[in-house]
Amino acid sequence: MTGMSNANTPRAATPDDASTVSTTLARAFGDDPMMRWFFPDDASREDGMRRYFATLFTRQYGRHGVCELTDAAAAFWVPPHALDKAVPDAETVEELQGILGDRASLFREAVEAAAAAPPKDPHWYLAVVGADPAAQGQGHGAALLRSGLAKADAEGMPVALESSKPENIPFYEHFGFAVVAEMELPGGGPRVWAMWRAPRPAAD
């Protein structure tokens, strides 16, 4: 087996990476049911999602989380001490509503639902991870997942995430996650699966 190439070795994202990160994630989530629900117009979806992820990165996760990227993927993590920042604050929600247009009320309801039911125990939270479809199968997403899980394991902390794409559940299960709850987003939105991973003494 060959070693991991430099192209999919995670590195910390900086403010200068905002354009790269947002473009990568917009491409990664182009077929995601939740993002297609928030951005139903095919013609404007990718541009809207670029602005959406750029806002999350620059206003929220880049300030309060751990953001990493490879040449074709990006991930946003929230460590235990910053879990109060896992859900967008009021100013960020207002900016995102401007991007979402007539879907803004649905987004606000989804944010409020997420804020109402967080796991109670201290944990790391994987807010976003995605790889450009053009690099699918090259290990970019897995590299970012291993990097974040190693940080959580080093602290003896569990990890939480939500998946809105059922095809991704087996991928997360491979890394030790299990589905602990299902919910439908308010307003007739798609289903979301909450997943949880207990800490491990060593990396996968």
Tell me, what's the pLDDT at 3?
A: 46
Question: Which regions in the chain score pLDDT beneath 50?
Answer: 1-4, 203-204
Neighbours of 7 (CB within 10 A): 13
In the chain, where the domains are located: 11-197
Question: Which overall architecture, per CATH, does domain 11-197 show?
Answer: 3-Layer(aba) Sandwich (3.40)
Residue 176: exposure state from Cβ atoms within 10 A (0-12, 13-18, ≥19): middle
Tell me, what's the pLDDT at 1?
A: 38
Token pair 């439908």 is found at 184
Neighbours of 33 (CB within 10 A): 16
Tell me, what's the pLDDT at 5?
A: 53
Torsion of CA 131, 18, 44, 115, to 10 degrees: 80
Output the six-digit token pair for 65: 């989380």
Distance CA 204, CA 201 (A): 10
Tell me, what's the pLDDT at 22?
A: 97
Extended strands (E) in the chain: 11-12, 66-69, 73-78, 124-131, 159-163, 178-184, 191-197
**45-90 residue pLDDT tens:** 999 999 999 999 999 999 999 999 999 999 999 999 998 877 788 8
